[in-house]
Amino acid sequence: MTKHLYSNLKKEFKNHLFDYLILFTAGIFFLILLNIFRGQRVIEFFVLISFAFFYIIWGVYHHIVNETLHLKTVVEYILIAFIIIFLLKIIILP
């Protein structure tokens, strides 16, 4: 089971390295912006919302390229984005 999962993940990253590089770079940029604007609540929240929208758009793009886009997948990305917003806003950025 683990070997099969590892080979699938390895194949996914190899086939879509550019997509994941964009997501990783955006995540790093997001964390840097949060650090730069630490204490400025409105800007922090705007950066957080911007990253959540980017994540949703990235997910839709990624699945369009893979030809695996379904409504269920879009809803999943939206829910994950809202969880990210909730956790960072309520727990980390009080």
pLDDT, average across residues 53-60: 95
Nearest residue to 37 (alpha-carbon basis) of 46, 24, 28:
46
Q: Which of 58-62, 65-69, 87-91 has the highest mean pLDDT?
A: 58-62
Distance between CA atoms of 10 and 49, rounded to whole angstroms?
30
pLDDT of 39 over the 90 cut: no
pLDDT of 89 over the 90 cut: no
pLDDT of 93 over the 70 cut: no
| Share of residues in the chain with pLDDT > 70 (%) | 89
Count other C-beta atoms under 10 Å from residue 64's C-beta: 10
pLDDT, average across residues 44-62: 93
Question: 15, 61 in Cβ contact below 8 A?
Answer: no
What contacts 48, CB < 8 A, 6 or more positions away? 34, 84, 85, 88, 89, 93
The one-letter amino acid at 67: E
